[in-house]
Amino acid sequence: MGEPMLRLGVNIDHVATLRQARYRGLDHGEPCPVDAVRQAEAAGAHGITAHLREDRRHILDRDIWAIRDAVQTRLNFEMANTPEMIDIALRLKPEAVCLVPENRAEVTTEGGLDVASQVDAISAAAATLGQAGIEVSLFIDPDPAQIEATAATGSPFIELHTGAYAEAYSDEAKRAAELERLAKCAEQAKSLGLGVNAGHGLNYENTRGIFAVPHLNELNIGHSIVSRAVTVGLGQAVREILELMDGYPQAG
């Protein structure tokens, strides 16, 4: 066995966004998220991420079942902590679930889950999903209080929200501060026995910078890969991001 490598989860939500722009309300349309699964995996993706939102704005119920059937690697199911979504997850049996906050008005997930204010509710969800053999991750801002709270819920993983880092990227001082915040939180999570993933806003320019953050297991990247795929094709877009992720010094 070699060193553990930094794994890539390809989020295919925005393949469905593109389809819905033309085919909303219809039972067919292109591009097809299942084709995206096959191409991303063939290009070396270690997993597929998809978010079935309560408002069904991109991935639809029929998509998530077709994606589950197609995935050969690992399915990471992003969802809000609602009874409806817990029920779907228990039937879908993804390898992993990432609990995320949802607000109907937002363009995309805007911030991390406020775990600290809902430890009991999240603990219950994490226990239910964990008992079904599903690995649970909480999508949180790089905030020490949220990491403490995650450990208290019994969830085995965090996914650090890298959006603030991505937004600060063009300002060197702000970028350094955000990386330091992410690195400290990754250290804290590791010390509490949590696995560490990261994602949101990562792209072909800023992904290398994330090497400053230790203990990362997986990056979840979606919009930038789908955007790049418009010009170079999805397989090529995935291979290019994997190349940028190669050589991460401190996996695991």
Q: What is the pLDDT of residues 229-245, one digit of tens each?
A: 999 999 999 999 999 99
Question: Rounded to two decimals, what is the model's pTM?
Answer: 0.95
SS3 of 195-236:
EEEEECCCCCCCCHHHHHCCCEEEEEECHHHHHHHHHHCHHH
Domains by residue range for the chain, with CATH: 7-245 (3.20.20.70)
> Taking the CA atoms of the chain, what radius of gyration do you get in angstroms?
17
Q: What is the pLDDT of residues 100-116, one digit of tens each?
A: 998 766 555 568 999 99
| 2 pLDDT above the threshold of 70 | no
Residues annotated as catalytic (active site), given as ranges: 51, 78, 200
The mean of the pLDDT values for the chain is 95
SS3 state of residue 43? coil
Burial class for 171, CB neighbours closer than 10 Å (0-12, 13-18, 19+) = exposed
What band does 250 get if pLDDT is binned at 50, 70 and 90? low
